[in-house]
Amino acid sequence: MASNKPDLKHLEGRLQELQKELQAVAGRSGNQAAGAAAAESGWDLWLAIHRPGYTTPRDIAFASKLVDSMLIQARALEAEKQAMLQHVEDSIT
């Protein structure tokens, strides 16, 4: 018989999985030997756009559109995180 009890351990695991995925997107996987800029920023994409030859207007335009999309998604994730935190606050007061 299935239990209707909330599974806090499952939620904790999902939050840890989310944190790991977001760190991977940010390039913070622990592999920072690629250079000083990556070590400072912790972001592999920073190095990628500074490679010699990656300066054509087409490359920059393509990357800019992708970054714009990623920014929209990151802001939406932040808003969802704030909504979840507010829900928790409201639930315990």
What percentage of the chain exceeds 90 in pLDDT? 23
The distance of Cα 6 from the centroid of its chain, to the nearest Å, equals: 27
Task: Examine the pLDDT at 38 and tell me if it is beyond 70.
Answer: no
- pLDDT at residue 34, as a whole number: 47
Q: What is the pLDDT of residues 3-20, one digit of tens each?
A: 666 777 887 888 888 888
Burial class (CB in 10 A: 0-12, 13-18, 19+), 30: exposed
pTM here? 0.64
| SS3 category, 55 | coil
Give the tens place of pLDDT for each residue, 50-76. 788 877 888 888 988 988 998 899 899
**pLDDT reading at 24 higher than 50:** yes
